[in-house]
Amino acid sequence: MLNDIEQGLTGVLAGIPWAQWFSSLFLLVMGLILGSIAARSVGRLMAERTSRHHTVMVRRLVFYVVVTVFVVAAMREVGFSLDVLLGAAGILTVAIGFASQTSASNMISGLFLLVEKPFEIGDFIEVDATIGEVVGIDMLSVKLRTPDNLYVRIPNETLIKTQVVNRSRFPIRRLDLVIGIAYAEDIEAVSALLLEVAEREPLCLEEPRPFIQVTGFGPSSVDMQFSCWVARENLLEGRSRLMISAKRALDEAGIEIPYPHTSVYAGSHSEPFRVQLLAPESPNNKKDASDVEQDS
């Protein structure tokens, strides 16, 4: 019986066209190698001529096209019929299309994002309440890295339907600080003082010029908007430095910055709190008190 099994396995192995299979495997390996080389070459050529977004997309497209060509050649080498494969691929594509309408919507949305190009890799964008750096743009989703180093995946369909704020689109940004001063202060003098603060701050740009704007009369303060322009990479540092400099200048000039006060109320049916001031005891007071006790 063992001899029969051995002869059967030998016959099966002998009937396999090993040369064709090895040739097919060689084509697959060559496809992966040549696809990687071609994608890198195209990426280096496009790096200086177009954006990172388009470079990444074209690199992936070149890689998949080259690999697909070699996969088809490898399948023909082992005797697969392309007509049958194409028919099966068509049926499979229709079935997958009905089963994954969301994925198809994301792919179409990705094409719109590729054409419109509202942001690129490396930009900081804001989607709903999520802010982060774009680290990847794919056909189905966009990948973000938040300032606290979290990885966020946002579907392309969401980006098409939602408002997207690109914080890195323009090279400069405007800083707006809201400052409240007391009603008794001179608004023009405070404005001149804050403009001097902006002139002394090296991160504030000379053009566009800083400006002061009175925004309203609050319950306890006159509200002013102190605005200046900085380079986008200095936004966070510039905000902190400008607030510290403005606070120091107002304190040195003796300008009051009102703040809310809290009062304690016990209710209309409660008796008022009794407050009594007690003078510190002195030796004379103690002596007088002891004399009174002796007299009594």
Tokens describing residue 11: 């016959």
Query: In whole angstroms, what is the distance from residue 152 CA to residue 168 CA?
Result: 18
DSSP state of 218: -
Average confidence (pLDDT) over 78-104: 63
Tokens describing residue 251: 């304190």
Domains annotated for the chain, with CATH where assigned, are: 17-99 (1.10.287.1260), 116-166 (2.30.30.60), 172-252 (3.30.70.100)
Q: How many residues are listed for the chain in this entry? A: 296
Average confidence (pLDDT) over 18-38: 80
pLDDT tens digits, 263-289: 666 555 555 556 666 766 655 555 554
Average confidence (pLDDT) over 151-172: 90
Q: Is the pLDDT of residue 153 over 50?
A: yes
Query: In whole angstroms, what is the distance from residue 231 CA to residue 219 CA?
Result: 35
How many CA atoms lie within 13 Å of 15's alpha carbon, on the beta-carbon side? Answer: 6
User: Distance of alpha carbon 137 from its chain centroid, rounded?
Assistant: 14
Given this model, what pLDDT does residue 229 score?
95
Which residue shows structure tokens 């680290």? 135
Query: Is pTM, for the whole model, over 0.85?
Result: no
Q: Is the pLDDT of residue 15 over 80?
A: no
